[in-house]
Amino acid sequence: MATDIKVPTLGESVTSATVARWMKQEGEAVAADEPLVELETDKVTVEINAPSAGVLTSISAPEGSEVPVGALLGVLDADAKSGAAPKPAAQPAGKPAGAPAAKPVAAPAAKPAPEPRPAANPQAGVNPPPRALGPVARPAPPPTDGVAHAPLPAAAKLIEEKHLSPAEIGDGTGKDGRITKGDVLEFLNRPAPAATPAPAARGPRTEEPREQRVRMTRLRRTIAARLKEAQNTAAMLTTFNEVDMSAVMALRSEYRDAFEKKHNGARLGFMSFFVKACVAALKEFPAVNAEIDGDDIVYKNFVHMGIAVGGAAGLVVPVIRDVDAMDFAEIERAIADFGRRARDGALKLDELTGGTFSITNGGVYGSLMSTPILNPPQSGILGMHKIQDRPMVVAGKIEARPMMYLALSYDHRIVDGSEAVSFLVRVKQGVEDPRRLLLGL
């Protein structure tokens, strides 16, 4: 049975892609889930895997061609055998006397032998560079020849049109460090430096022998640009409170083993309590879950919760969709899955977009207090911090209680100060008395 291989949906605002590389040729056998073709978009380079085992009988979109979402890339036949791709018919050695002459048929041109290709995963050195968290940007190994890696077809065409050179752009975000079309567009869209004269001429910087100069990765540049965009666009303000973790810690300690056994290994952590508390507060204060679009305020009747995950290559915020419809076990499983795949660099592009509110936990690194930065176009982000025993007055007596500082950064253009403070108080109440979350109070 023949199966069409088509261009999948590639994420928000991505309508087309360029065929960067075919990893299989016509007539070659393919195993199920084996990479077939590599597509390049303005945002990411993705691999398309075989839906089933079979033979690649035809390629409809050659390398370098521009293809829209849904376009046919090739055909995979599960019933064909390796080498069964159509080939030019051989000329017979002789014909019987008096046989009618065969109607001439134009034979297809001989297919040139494929050029040697670099391995999809070249052998890494003793200490390979860390992998990026997710597909948005993939740090590449440093080039061995001192220049940028070879551009992909669409990128090469754009470089030629704009009279650029790969060395000006630097290392790309494609596989093996190759330059993508998105890298070229990002380079072209960089703002020109301000024409203000420097107060004094600055000579060349003296390099110290104990310094090391390392080029920023594409992921790090993207993080820097987005954080600065949030500061320049939103009227960002942060309000603080503190929460007594005694009730949650006691509940977790009492039911942790039973929870894990009931839900097939899902571990009961603190994060699900904060997610549930935020969902309840967002329903009461919908402006914190809204966003500004021009002169309009867009209110969301759902909650797509972004959970910040950090790693060696930078920070990503995968999104748990419709988290308001999930129970504790589903939330814990989703968070654990995102954390694992973020470390492995296996997050998908559509899992990093569409959030309506975010939570970041600096406490895992020991942070006692911070002011989290908004993730545009969201209007709120909750910052969790380190749990620390502090003396608190309880019923007229001083007791040591496990306390955590909470921080809510919000966009003051859409969220009033009273709403922000009240939102954080609701989160505090939900965590300090988890029974409120069960009763919807």
CB-based burial of residue 195 (10 Å sphere; 0-12 exposed, 13-18 middle, 19+ buried)? exposed
Cα–Cα distance, 324 to 279 (Å, whole number):
6
Please give the helix or strand (H or E) that residue 402 lies within, else none. strand 397-411
Q: Is 416 assigned a catalytic role?
A: yes
Q: What count of Cα atoms within 13 Å lies in the side-chain half-sphere of residue 221?
A: 16
State the SS3 of 182-196.
HHHHHHHCCCCCCCC
Pair of tokens at residue 391: 């003396």
CB 46 within 8 A of CB 39: yes
Q: If we measure between CA atoms, which residue out of 151, 215, 133, 140 comes closest to residue 173?
A: 140
Among the options 304, 411, 416, 433, which is catalytic? 416
Cα–Cα distance, 53 to 30 (Å, whole number):
5
Which residues lie closer than 8 Å to 196 by C-beta, 6 or more apart? Answer: none
Sheet containing strand 29-30, strands side by side = 2-6, 72-77, 54-59, 29-30
Q: Is 412 assigned a catalytic role?
A: yes
CB 69 within 8 A of CB 350: no
Which residue matches tokens 């360029």? 18
Among the options 171, 350, 412, 433, which is catalytic? 412
Pair of tokens at residue 369: 């207090």
CB 400 within 8 A of CB 385: no
Which amino acid, one-letter code, is at 99? A
Cα–Cα distance, 11 to 317 (Å, whole number):
15
Would you give the end-to-end CA distance of the chain in angstroms? Answer: 56
Annotated catalytic sites, by residue? 412, 416
